[in-house]
Chains A and B, each alone.
Chain A
Amino acid sequence: MISRRGLFTAAAGVGATAVLASCGRLSGEQTAAAPAPAAGPIFFGVSAPLSGASAEYGKIWRTGFDLALDEINGAGGVKGRKIELLWEDTQSDQKQSVPVAQKFAGDSRILAELGDFASPASMAASPVYEKAHLVQFGFTNSHPDFTKGGEYMWSTSTTQQDHAPELADLAKSLGTKQAVYYINTDWGKTTWKLYEEHAKKSGYEIVHSEAVQADGSDFRPSLINGRDKGADVLVFIAYYQAAALLTQQAKNVGLAQAKIALPSSAYSPQYVALGGEATEGAQLIVRFHPGDPRPQVREFVDKYQKRYGKQPDDFGAGAYDALKILAWAVEHSDGTREGVRKALLEGKEIPSLLYGPFSFREDRRVTTPKSTRLVVKGGAFTLVGA
């Protein structure tokens, strides 16, 4: 019978040996994925919420991705190879996005990654992608710090830095006394901070501001506050779900006359569908809208409408565009992970649904054209003044 102490010493010894034996993996400088196979389909990983509270955004992504895939693969694919997506559900939760990143990083077939939906989930996973030299294309990650995570973090999302001042200007054009409600997520708070900065500089009057719960359902007490302070324009820094709720409940508490200003993340046919009549007259600033006369937009909207029986929103268009951009990058690369990054870095005149031919800035983001203003009229989004 071996003594307990002896056993533990032996265990520690074997453990230490294992540690030493795996020294290479411990430093973890480069996970050195095997070279990508040169034949067969090209894979992109998608880290997305397919279940949980944000599942509907994952579903919208799928519409945009599927449309883009059909186009690309229908035309013979990239470099003669088909593109396929590997979906992983993360519920947009960083506890899950990190292992998913690890999974993608270790899968040598994957040339680039799309997502995650929420910036925190993406940012938690960034170090893994950075180490694996795998492009993380966070096309909805508007957090200013996202692309600061490393050389491999890229995004076509507008940043809040561009967006927030435009929103404040929109609100100013609608009324004099602003009440601003922002959801209590990282995105909502960052946008509000930038909004407030700009509003102060420009001398706009904000009579009330308040953080509201992103997944909240009853906003009446908060809205009553704004009403009692005499707000004549309401700004809802929120996604379309909460924005629709806020819009309706504002009407319920007697704010029927106040104008409403919204950011592009509220832009979705769903906003009107959910908010009903109360949304009439609400104004938004958007980077994309289906009424855009540019031919590539008309073509995309027609196709989307035909396939899904509804108009695309910002998330659907963004997903479509992101996949097309990555496919372009693979086409213009040597077929390696590093090559994809290089193509994005050196690409001029990258074709894009949202931005026309463009190139990435040094901070791996896009210089977004000035936003378009839309108004809800007769239950549909129309260009202001049209």
Chain B
Amino acid sequence: MLDTALAGLVNGSSYALLALGLSLIFGVANVINFAHASVFAVGAMSGWWFSVDLGWPLWTVLLGVMAVTGLLGLVINLVAVTPLAKAPPIAALLSTFAVSVVVDNGAQLVFGPETRRFPALLATDNLGLGGLRFGTLDVTILAVAIGLMLVLGWFLRATRYGRAIRAVAQDRDAAAQMGIPLARVQNLAFVVASVLGGVAGVLGGMYLNNISPTVGSTVGMSAFAAATLGGLGSLPGAVAGGLLLGVVEAFGVSWWGGNARTLITFAVLLLVLWVRPSGLFGKRSPLAAEPMTGTFFGAARTVRLRPWQVAVAAVAAYVVPAVALDDYTVQIGVQVVVYAILALSLTLVSGQAGQISLGQAAPLAIGAYTSALLTTGTGLDFWLSLPISGLVAAVLSVALVSPSWRLRGHYVSIATLATGLLVAAAAVNFDWLTNGPSGVSAIPPPTLFGAPVSAPLAVYFLDLTILLVVLLLVVRLRRSTLGRIWSAIREDEVAARSSGIAAAEYKSLAFGIGGFVAGIGGALFAQQYGYIDPSVFGISVSLLALTIVVLGGLNSPLGAVVGAIVLVGLPEALRMLEETRMLTYGLLLLAVVLFRPQGLMGKVAR
């Protein structure tokens, strides 16, 4: 019992240090920094380099790492966050995501992809206290973590810049009017947060023994959960959230097995959010802030195509692959089409109704599993499984997201992120239903007029036809009264409700229809590969879908299609780069978000 708790506390202190940084950055810059987990990895890797290759002692290793990650934090802010200060917050979120792709893959190139041993700079098993075994390392980690938190607390209270950070976090505009240099304060917040993240990397590296350039991802997700659990922007909340999550995870794993860790982390997060919509320590104003115009959306108008242009594009989409493209390219086309369908489901949820979802992989997974299990298990025809998949995905989407209606702004995104991860974790854990990590194989291809649809071109035609139907559906919905009602909710929920619009019901409906469309996409996805397992529906799919939608111009259905062509096609087009492929992809992604935050198909309003 006690040692499980201790293990949880020590592990949780890594979460706490990371969550502190996330919360600090969130408070000052109002950005969810997806690159923070990469800072952890860079801290661990450079710590390894200083201690192993250069043979530095622990304290210089820590100082060196602080310098490296502090600088990295500064660069992240200057490159990816500051330039987007006037763009919608979603743009900054995606640019930090792009930075994380760049940093992770860059670290892999610099340090090599191997896992390596983090030198045990301190003893791990030399102390005992009433049957409890632990080491100097555990004590040091806890002491350094708590010490740093105290130093940070002192810094924020007692120093001029610390107070400036707090002032900005409380009210950015008021702070600016009081003459606080926002840019400098934001730089400082990123540096401080990243220094903490780097130290967490070193401590985490020592505790975990082994590290690799991708070590940040799992720890990072838990840190997100910890920061949100405590209340975004609340520093005591981040500490409490981190330690609490560490202990809860430790006991959860102890009782239900290591397999269940992700499930536990995000189930706990969702439960807490349902009960306390702003986290344990977060302050919640009783009335949602009055949004400034176009808060979530750049003041962009959608590029409109004329009907004949659409018709020509649609015909070309059928004819060109049939006549001019080889099967490999057509196969990529199939992926583009499926991602376009997924992105269109988000166009409704995020673009039209304004609910930024980071978990659209959830209905995709539900649809894919429903179709796969029905066609393999009960021998149901694919065509019958298609609407059922959509329906099941819609119902579960609504059921999973509806407790989150009290959430606002970034909390909605985090709740959907948690939902997405939860569904994937459930697919791993619910063996009896999903066959667990082994996945579902031998999913039969659909038949049409008695012939199996399995050749790339045939699959492409089928999927493309469904895409066009979905596209038509989305366009019609957007132009209807319903579309206008969703727009009103997106623009200002409080005002919409006071105009007689039952916002929660319409948000449910948006998630329901979005879930239906994504579920259909999932069914196509399953039959396209003939094999699915939980790893297919990771966070990267959700983020890719959102990136496609944002890149295409959040509120533009055609933009979703264009975005899918670019973002799914790009990694394939970069194939000749081999090891540097993903790095280049990240850089291009970053460039696109920086230079066209309003999206490819969004036109800047005059």
Contacts and interface: CB of A to CB of B under 8 A. Distances in A.
B262 interface: yes
B308 A210 contact: no
Contacts of B105: 51
B46 interface: no
Contacts of A50: 578-579, 581
B318 A218 contact: no
B214 A53 contact: yes
Interface in B182-212: 204, 207-210, 212
A19 B318 contact: yes
Nearest to B314: A11
A245 B311 contact: no
A319 to B, nearest CB: 16
A213 B257 CA distance: 9
B323 interface: yes
Most central of A88, A127, A211, A256 by chain B CB within 10 Å = A211
A54 B598 CA distance: 35
B117 A276 contact: yes
Given A89-B578, A127-B530, A245-B210, A15 B254 contact: no
B3 A224 contact: yes
A32 to B, nearest CB: 11
Contacts of B528: 98
Interface string B105-117: 1001000111111
Contacts of A212: 257-259
Given A127-B530, A241-B115, A213 B441 contact: no
Interface stretch (B56-64, B326-334, B403-411, B547-555): B326-334
A161 interface: no
Nearest to B579: A50
B447 interface: no
A4 B307 contact: yes
A253 B133 contact: yes
A223 to B, nearest CB: 9
Interface in A1-31: 2, 4, 7-8, 10-11, 14-15, 18-19, 21-22, 25-28, 31
A252 B529 contact: no
A225 B115 contact: no
Contact of B319 (A14, A91, A95, A252): A14
B529 A217 contact: no
B130 to A, nearest CB: 14
B232 interface: no
Interface string B253-280: 1100111011000000000000000000
A110 to B, nearest CB: 12
Most central of B124, B258, B439, B441 by chain A CB within 10 Å = B258
B349 to A, nearest CB: 22
Residues of A in contact with B, size category = 35 or more
B210 A120 contact: no
B241 to A, nearest CB: 17
Contacts of B253: 221-222
Contacts of A52: 214, 582
B133 A225 contact: no
Interface string B421-442: 0000000100000001111010
A186 B135 contact: no
A127 B454 contact: yes
Nearest to A143: B438
A3 to B, nearest CB: 9
Nearest to A220: B7
A210 B257 contact: yes
B176 interface: no
Contact of A184 (B115, B319, B326, B428): B428
A261 interface: no
Interface in A42-89: 50-53, 55-56, 58-59, 87-89
Interface string B448-489: 000100111110010000000000000000000000000000
B483 to A, nearest CB: 19
Contacts of A244: 115, 117, 209-210
Contacts of A318: none
A106 B7 contact: no
A2 B436 contact: no
B354 interface: no
A224 B207 CA distance: 16
A332 B463 CA distance: 43
B104 to A, nearest CB: 9
Interface in A326-382: none
A11 B124 CA distance: 71
Nearest to A278: B209
A129 to B, nearest CB: 12
A241 B335 CA distance: 32
Nearest to B250: A221
Contacts of B4: 220-221, 224
Contact of A22 (B115, B262, B457): B457
A218 B328 contact: no
B318 A124 contact: no
B11 interface: yes
B475 to A, nearest CB: 12
Nearest to B465: A15
A283 interface: no
A184 B434 CA distance: 14
B328 A103 contact: yes
Given A26-B455, A145-B441, A186-B533, A217 B331 contact: no
A211 B259 contact: yes
A254 B125 contact: yes
B262 A99 contact: no
B215 to A, nearest CB: 7
B209 A123 contact: no
B315 interface: yes
B251 interface: yes
Interface stretch (A134-142, A199-207, A267-275, A292-300): A267-275
Contacts of A58: 113
A55 B331 CA distance: 24
Contact of A2 (B8, B120, B215, B308): B308
Given A221-B7, A249-B209, A99 B572 contact: yes
A189 interface: yes
B285 to A, nearest CB: 37
Most central of A96, A102, A244 by chain B CB within 10 Å = A102
Contacts of A87: 578
A213 B218 contact: yes
Contacts of B215: 217
A270 B335 contact: no
A248 B209 contact: yes
Interface in B356-408: none
10 shortest interchain CB distances as A-B pairs: A28-B455, A212-B258, A55-B113, A211-B259, A15-B318, A22-B322, A103-B328, A220-B7, A102-B331, A221-B253
10 contacts: A11-B314, A15-B315, A26-B455, A31-B327, A56-B114, A56-B115, A184-B436, A212-B258, A216-B258, A274-B117
Given A15-B315, A96-B571, A221-B4, 15 more contacts: A14-B319, A22-B457, A28-B454, A28-B458, A51-B105, A51-B113, A51-B579, A98-B529, A123-B441, A124-B529, A218-B11, A224-B3, A252-B135, A254-B125, A270-B114
Interface of A: 2, 4, 7-8, 10-11, 14-15, 18-19, 21-22, 25-28, 31, 50-53, 55-56, 58-59, 87-89, 91, 93-96, 98-99, 102-103, 105-106, 120, 123-124, 127, 145, 181, 184-186, 188-190, 210-213, 215-222, 224-225, 241, 244-245, 248-249, 251-254, 256, 270, 273-276
Interface of B: 3-4, 7-8, 11, 105, 108, 112-117, 120, 124-125, 133, 135, 204, 207-210, 212, 214-215, 217-219, 249-251, 253-254, 257-259, 261-262, 307-308, 311, 314-315, 318-319, 322-323, 326-328, 330-332, 335, 428, 436-439, 441, 451, 454-458, 461, 528-531, 533, 535-536, 571-572, 575, 578-579, 581-583
